[in-house]
């Protein structure tokens, strides 16, 4: 996990959610591993390498628009609402942090959400990053929604990239299939979590013919 974070920092969401859910040991080991590996370029090449890296990221805003960027920010950039995309990403990360802190989900559930948000809530979440979701797809293969998500994600990139020259509706639909696939996966995971928490059973009305008893006893 730490090696992945060192190479792709957006996956820091994974150890962060593990830490918030009470799994301190793997989270801290991962953070330590990532820091050690990340320090190697600074020692060998010099700290200048990270300054150049940040400057390159800041100067290359156009990459978010590219159709293989499967994140919310990528979809928002194509709709010319980049600020809303950034706000939505922060909202998702904040909501996931509170969920992990107070709900304390299981390790597989926490990791599933963390891996998804590492791509979906990242400024740049290339579709090839979704390979990290393969264990999730195998685990939940019986779900029809998961199969739909997988079908979208295995669409060849040339089919999607040819919509790059068609800005507008086609870019936001056929050109953003990877984004919609991950959003569908997010909806499925949130719905499953709400169902497991009993949220839907609490909100269901009482069946007809079974009125609730009054909390105040009737006078005799």
Confidence check: pLDDT of 203 > 90: no
Q: What is the pLDDT of residues 112-129, one digit of tens each?
A: 999 999 999 998 899 999
Place of tokens 């013919």: 209
pLDDT (mean) for 1-6: 89
Q: What is the pLDDT of residues 152-176, one digit of tens each?
A: 999 999 989 888 777 788 889 888 9
pTM, two decimal places: 0.84
The whole-number pLDDT of residue 214 equals 43
**With 0-12 CB in 10 A as exposed, 13-18 as middle and 19+ as buried, what is 23?**
middle
Per-residue pLDDT band at 29 (split at 50, 70, 90) = very high
Contacts of 81 (CB under 8 A, 6+ apart): none
The whole-number pLDDT of residue 218 equals 46
**How open is the CA angle 112-118-120, to the nearest 5 degrees?**
95
Which stretches within 11-47 are classed as H helix?
Answer: 13-20, 24-44
Please state, in angstroms and rounded to a whole number, the distance separating the CA atoms of residues 167 and 178: 16
Per-residue pLDDT band at 72 (split at 50, 70, 90) = very high
The whole-number pLDDT of residue 165 equals 76
Per-residue pLDDT band at 64 (split at 50, 70, 90) = confident
The whole-number pLDDT of residue 169 equals 85
Please state, in angstroms and rounded to a whole number, the distance separating the CA atoms of residues 2 and 28: 9
Please state, in angstroms and rounded to a whole number, the distance separating the CA atoms of residues 203 and 210: 16
């Amino acid at each position: 996990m730490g090696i992945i974070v060192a190479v792709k920092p957006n996956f820091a969401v994974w150890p962060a959610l593990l830490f918030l859910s009470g799994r301190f040991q793997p989270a801290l080991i991962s953070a330590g591993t990532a820091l050690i590996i990340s320090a190697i370029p600074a020692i060998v090449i010099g700290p200048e390498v990270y300054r150049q890296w940040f400057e390159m990221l800041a100067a290359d805003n156009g990459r978010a628009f590219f159709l293989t960027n499967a994140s919310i920010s990528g979809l928002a950039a194509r709709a010319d609402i980049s600020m809303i995309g950034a706000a939505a990403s922060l909202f998702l990360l904040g909501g996931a942090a509170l969920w992990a802190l107070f709900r304390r989900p299981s390790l597989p559930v926490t990791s599933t959400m963390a891996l998804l948000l590492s791509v979906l809530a990242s400024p740049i979440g290339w579709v090839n990053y979704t390979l990290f979701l393969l264990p999730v797809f195998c685990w939940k293969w019986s779900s029809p929604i998961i199969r739909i998500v997988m079908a979208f994600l295995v669409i060849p990139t040339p089919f999607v990239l040819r919509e790059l020259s068609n800005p507008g509706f086609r870019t936001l639909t056929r050109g953003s299939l990877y984004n919609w696939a991950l959003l569908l996966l997010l909806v499925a995971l949130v719905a499953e979590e709400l169902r497991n928490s009993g949220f839907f059973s609490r909100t269901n009305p009482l069946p007809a013919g079974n009125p609730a008893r009054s909390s105040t006893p009737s006078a005799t």
